[in-house]
Amino acid sequence: MHNDAVTFEERVGILVNSDEFSDFEFLENLSRSLTADAPLEILAYSKSARNFEAENVLGFSNSDFKLWGAIKSTNLIDFTAKPFRFLISYYQRENVFLDFLTASSRAAFKIGFQHGVSDCFQDLTIETHPDQTEVFKTEIIKYLKIVNRID
C-alpha cells in the first residue's frame, strides 16, 4: 500500500527579512530552544542580492522570482517543499516574496509576527517587534508548550 502522507522532519526553517533583522546567531539559538538537535535552515531575503555564505545562510532577492511571481530558484523551491516541524517567519513588514514562501511551505507548524494580512499564513502569531528577541522567544516557547508542540 502506498502512503502519500507527509512525514514531518525534526527540522526548523526560518524565513527572515535581512533588511529588517540580521542577528542570525539569535535565530540559531531560537531554533535550538525549540528542538535542540534539529537541523536548521535559514533563508534570508534582501532587496539587493547579498551573499550570506559567511553566516551559513541561504540568501535570495526579488530576482529569484519571475515576472508573474513564479519561483526561478531551485533553492527556494526545495525550501518550500521540505516538511519542517516548525517554520518561523521572522519579518514584520509585509513582503510578497516572504509571504509567498510562507504560504507555500509544507511546514507542520508556522510561526510569525502579528502584522495584518500575512497572519492568515501562520498557525501562531506573536504580537511584538523583531528587535524584541527575548519576548518573541519566550512567547513562542510558552504557546508551543500550551498546544503540546514542545515539552
pLDDT in tens, 40-88: 999 999 998 777 877 789 999 999 999 888 999 999 999 999 999 999 9
pLDDT number for residue 7 = 65
Q: State mean pLDDT over 131-135.
A: 95
Cβ proximity of 79 and 101 under 8 Å: yes
Which helix (H) or strand (E) is 113 found in, with range?
Answer: strand 109-113
Residue 53: its pLDDT value, please? Answer: 75
Q: What is the pLDDT of residue 32?
A: 94
Helices (H), ranges, 35-120: 74-81, 96-104
**For domain 12-146, which CATH number applies: 3.40.50, 3.30.70, 3.30.960, 3.40.1360?**
3.40.50
Residue 118 in this model has a pLDDT that exceeds 70: no
H or E segment and range at residue 59: strand 58-60
Cα–Cα distance for residue pair 101/14, rounded to 1 Å: 11
Q: According to the model, what pLDDT value does residue 151 have?
A: 86
